[in-house]
Amino acid sequence: MGHIVNGEREYRLLQQRLDQNITGAPSSPVLTRILKLLFSPAEAAIARKIPLRPVAVAALARKIGLPAEALQEKILLMAEKGLVFDFEYRGQAHVVLAPIVIGFFEFVYMRTRDDLPMRELAQLFEEYMYRDDRFARDVFQQNTQLGRALAQEEALPAGDYSEVLDWEKASHVIRSARTIGLSLCACRHKASHLDKACAAPLKTCLTFNQGAEMLIKKGMAEQAGAGAAMAVLEQCKQAGLAQIADNVQRSVGFMCNCCGCCCGMIQAIKTFDLRGAVVTSSWAAAIAPEACTGCGLCVRACPVEAIGLAAGSDGRTQAVCEASLCLGCGVCYQACKRGAIRLKGRGQQVVVPETTFDRMVAMAIERGKLSSFLFDDPSRLSHRALGRIAAMVEKSAPVKAFMAVKPLRSAFLSAIAAGAKKYTER
């Protein structure tokens, strides 16, 4: 029975390792069942020793006492299943443990496959993500999020369009990417295995640059040109899908085309009232009462139920948008047949991290996981010591009060990011 006990231990330790990630992985018997379907006990034993930041495979092999060639072979098998990220940097193979999201959930369902029990996994992911709110609240807590809404450009008033920054435009994200990958929408694909997917197009997930290159190499995406990606974007707009992109300004990694019924981010908003799960665009829907007939098309189209019908001042039924709930995506503009809806500026630019590193540092600080992010190498005493210090700083009352003051918070984040970049370069 020893091997069974050890196997259970490895899955428990893997869950704990995944929970150190910025987006978390709360303990649950359901998560354990998911991990057992995805990882063999031997893979779990390796995976739970892989840092949350990239590490050279040769260095990891020395740390865990395996020949580098043998470890590389095992990592390649896990990477094919989408459980780890592997890539080359300066001629050396590197690896990093994939989180649940954005990570191995998406990589399981971004393609059709027969090497995994897809229906059983879909049922388990559904239960883990939506049976209670623990996972959703781990992923979508605080202010900095994984995804941000993009405003459909044609929905913007002509006078304001010149004020839209390049990183706010889906067209710019597509046309500026050096590599584009096209995959199945993981959320709708998962829903299809539960017999409850909507009729929206399925092959709509766009990835860019290094992430796209990795997915294409692993067969999880097919390479697409900018023209083909723009055609997918237009198809998705016509289908009433909202564009939700990587919450960064530079080197955007992904762009989802999301429906209100299957998308995990939108379901977190609607199921658990986590209204900040997706960062809004800098725009919100504005409805012209004189043009609105109260037909309700926009109400049915809004993915987050931010629009309702109410009696206007003249007694006519009209659409009303709650700006605080609105994503600023422009889906309602496409749905309206009367030209009664446009997007208007919110009056304040939404703050978006400049790079993926800046986003991750901000998320780590907000979630009290800065120590895990910066000092994630448990084999080195110096890292453990620094990690404990950082953890104490994060939890101290003065730092919490300090972070509540927005100008100080911004300066603190910038200083932490600058220092962490120097640390990781070393």
Q: 0.85 exceeded by the pTM?
A: yes
DSSP label at 278?
A: S
Tens-digit pLDDT profile for residues 348-369: 889 899 999 889 888 988 888 8
87 and 19 housed in the same domain: yes
> What pLDDT sits at residue 5?
42
- Number of Cβ within 10 Å of residue 300's Cβ equals 13
**Which has the minimum average pLDDT: 39-53, 168-182, 372-386?**
372-386
Q: Is 256 helix (H, G, I), strand (E, B) or coil?
A: strand
Omega cis (within 30) before 365: no
Residue 111 resides in a domain: no
Cross-strand bridge partners of residue 349: none
Percentage of the chain lying above the pLDDT 90 cut: 75
> What pLDDT sits at residue 7?
74
> What pLDDT sits at residue 377?
63
288 and 267 housed in the same domain: no
Q: Please tell me the distance from the alpha carbon of residue 257 to that of residue 237, in angstroms, as a whole number.
A: 8
Q: Does the pLDDT value for residue 165 go beyond 80?
A: yes
Q: Does the pLDDT value for residue 15 go beyond 70?
A: yes
Q: What value does the mean pLDDT of the chain take?
A: 89
> What pLDDT sits at residue 30?
98
Q: Are 352 and 248 in contact (CB under 8 A)?
A: yes
Q: Does the pLDDT value for residue 182 go beyond 50?
A: yes
> What pLDDT sits at residue 1?
38
Range of the domain at 179: 138-272
Q: Please tell me the distance from the alpha carbon of residue 153 to that of residue 130, in angstroms, as a whole number.
A: 33
Residue 244 resides in a domain: yes
Q: What is the domain-level CATH number for residue 328?
A: 3.30.70.20
Residue 239 resides in a domain: yes
371 and 309 housed in the same domain: no
- Looking at residue 404, its amino acid is A
Tens-digit pLDDT profile for residues 308-317: 999 977 888 9
Confidence of residue 3 (pLDDT cuts 50, 70, 90): very low
> What pLDDT sits at residue 396?
65
170 and 255 housed in the same domain: yes
Nearest to 277 by CA among 290, 268, 287, 286: 268
> What pLDDT sits at residue 349?
85
Contacts of 354 (CB under 8 A, 6+ apart): 248, 249, 250
DSSP label at 81?
A: H
Q: Does the pLDDT value for residue 76 go beyond 70?
A: yes
54 and 86 housed in the same domain: yes
Q: Does the pLDDT value for residue 155 go beyond 90?
A: yes
Q: Does the pLDDT value for residue 329 go beyond 80?
A: yes
312 and 413 housed in the same domain: no
375 and 419 housed in the same domain: yes
Q: How many residues does the chain have?
A: 426
143 and 267 housed in the same domain: yes
Q: Give the mean model confidence (pLDDT) for residues 143-148.
A: 96
Q: Give the mean model confidence (pLDDT) for residues 417-422.
A: 59
DSSP label at 142?
A: S
324 and 229 housed in the same domain: no
